[in-house]
């Protein structure tokens, strides 16, 4: 019995050195100290030990039990210490992996890309112009009289040298026609600036997309067809649009175009989305004077133009309630638009 106890303690102590995890430590504990464990089995043999040896065998039994128990305790803290060290080194192997944030396109970029690709498929080429403009390109050439309210200091940002921040992208119509002979079929996306009070639907710097098509015999039917197709491609094949008579100095006749949209869970409603019309002959005359030729003479060409606010388009597409979300760069907002 004494021999057996000594041998059991020795094997147990050498076995435990190979234990390297909490679950296998528990297996080890059960194998020796559990109800059906090896030491428990030995101790039930105490009854067979002659009376005069009982106290020394009993002492050895306790020694073996204590030895194994304290080896288990030591192992337990060694395992815990190893885990703590990993965690302190910033490595917790039990945590799930961290996903890497991948970023995505800003909703304005997404709307712009879609609008441009639809219009390019219809043959519109991209054009650009400066954001700092002359009064002539922004207003005079566009048949806007000197006393028009849009030209007011309270509506337009003027520089002290007489230049201004363009109030619309329509100035690109003028610059394009100055530079190239008809036919022209261009779109000009870009920033526009107005001295508007900033609120849920207004920014003082915003984005527009201008369109211009000038050639012999361009008609209002062409304008309607182009815009119907554009909005069906953007909002779905059953999208309805309507033309409401309006006024712009540089188009005649002029319209505002409404699109019938059904916001989620709401009744359909008409939403104003752009201004448009047939290029006013007075604009062609201003272009002819500036070019010093007659290629844009109103007897030779006609044209249509349209201009829309891109923020509004983005807000409608996604049901964004406040235009300011689009410029605040809050990732909690923006991450909702990354694929």
Residues that bind ligand PHE (CB under 6 A): 168, 170, 248, 251, 275-277, 305-307
Nearer to ligand PHE by Cβ, of 308 and 326: the residue is 308
For residue 159, the minimal CB distance to ligand PHE (Å) is: 20
Classify each residue of 310-330 as buried b or exposed e, where b means 16 or more C-beta atoms within 10 Å of its C-beta. Answer: bbbbbbbeeebeebbbbeeee
| Ramachandran angles phi, psi of 3, nearest 5° | -60, -45
Nearer to ligand PHE by Cβ, of 226 and 251: the residue is 251
SS3 (DSSP) at 127: coil
CA distance 316 to 319: 5
For residue 267, the minimal CB distance to ligand PHE (Å) is: 28
Nearer to ligand PHE by Cβ, of 155 and 322: the residue is 155
Nearer to ligand PHE by Cβ, of 248 and 284: the residue is 248
Residue with tokens 């990993």: 86
Residue 295 CB neighbour total at 10 angstroms? 15
Nearer to ligand PHE by Cβ, of 39 and 218: the residue is 218
CA distance 132 to 130: 5
For residue 233, the minimal CB distance to ligand PHE (Å) is: 20
Nearer to ligand PHE by Cβ, of 57 and 310: the residue is 310
> Looking at the DSSP assignment, which residues form a beta bridge with residue 207?
191
For residue 89, the minimal CB distance to ligand PHE (Å) is: 60
Alpha-carbon separation of residue 73 from 22, 36, 88, 269 (angstroms) = 11, 20, 22, 74
Nearer to ligand PHE by Cβ, of 28 and 124: the residue is 124
For residue 279, the minimal CB distance to ligand PHE (Å) is: 8
Token pair for 100:
């890497």
CA distance 263 to 267: 7
Nearer to ligand PHE by Cβ, of 276 and 320: the residue is 276
Under a CB-based contact definition with an 8 Å cutoff, are residues 173 and 141 in contact? Answer: no
For residue 277, the minimal CB distance to ligand PHE (Å) is: 5
> Helices 2-16 & 54-88, crossing angle to 10 degrees?
0
Under a CB-based contact definition with an 8 Å cutoff, are residues 53 and 47 in contact? Answer: no
Token pair for 61:
């039994």
For residue 242, the minimal CB distance to ligand PHE (Å) is: 16
* Closest of 30, 64, 58 to residue 44, by C-alpha: 58
For residue 331, the minimal CB distance to ligand PHE (Å) is: 31
Token pair for 115:
């609008």
Nearer to ligand PHE by Cβ, of 61 and 313: the residue is 313
Chain center to CA of 314: 12
For residue 170, the minimal CB distance to ligand PHE (Å) is: 4
């Amino acid at each position: 019995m004494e021999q057996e106890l000594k041998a059991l303690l020795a094997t147990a102590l050498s076995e435990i050195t190979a234990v390297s995890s909490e679950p296998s430590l528990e297996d080890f504990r059960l194998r020796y100290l559990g109800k059906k464990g090896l030491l428990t089995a030995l101790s039930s043999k105490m009854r067979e030990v002659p009376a005069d040896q009982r106290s020394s065998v009993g002492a050895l039994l306790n020694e073996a039990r204590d030895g194994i128990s304290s080896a288990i305790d030591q192992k337990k803290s060694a395992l815990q210490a190893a885990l703590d060290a990993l965690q302190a080194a910033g490595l917790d192997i039990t945590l799930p992996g961290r996903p890497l944030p991948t970023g995505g396109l800003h909703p304005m970029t997404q709307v712009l890309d879609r609008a441009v690709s639809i219009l390019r498929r219809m043959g519109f080429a991209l054009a650009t112009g400066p954001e700092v403009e002359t009064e002539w390109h922004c207003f005079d050439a566009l048949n806007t009289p000197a006393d028009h309210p849009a030209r007011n200091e309270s509506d337009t940002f003027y520089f002290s040298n007489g230049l201004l921040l363009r109030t619309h992208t329509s100035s690109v119509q003028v610059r394009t026609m100055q530079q190239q002979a008809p036919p022209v079929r261009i779109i000009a996306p870009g920033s526009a600036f107005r001295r508007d009070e900033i609120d849920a639907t207004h920014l003082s710097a915003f984005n527009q997309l201008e369109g211009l098509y000038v050639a012999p015999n361009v008609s209002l039917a062409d304008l309607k067809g182009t815009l119907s197709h554009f909005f069906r491609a953007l909002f779905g094949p059953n999208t309805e649009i309507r033309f409401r008579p309006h006024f712009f100095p540089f188009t005649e006749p002029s319209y505002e175009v409404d699109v019938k949209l059904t916001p989620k869970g709401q009744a359909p409603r008409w939403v104003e989305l752009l201004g448009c019309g047939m290029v006013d002959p007075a604009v062609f005359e201003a272009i002819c004077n500036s070019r010093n030729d007659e290629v844009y003479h109103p007897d030779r060409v006609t044209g249509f133009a349209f201009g829309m606010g891109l923020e509004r388009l983005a807000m409608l597409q996604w049901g964004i309630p406040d235009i300011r979300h689009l410029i605040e760069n809050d990732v909690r907002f923006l991450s909702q638009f990354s694929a």
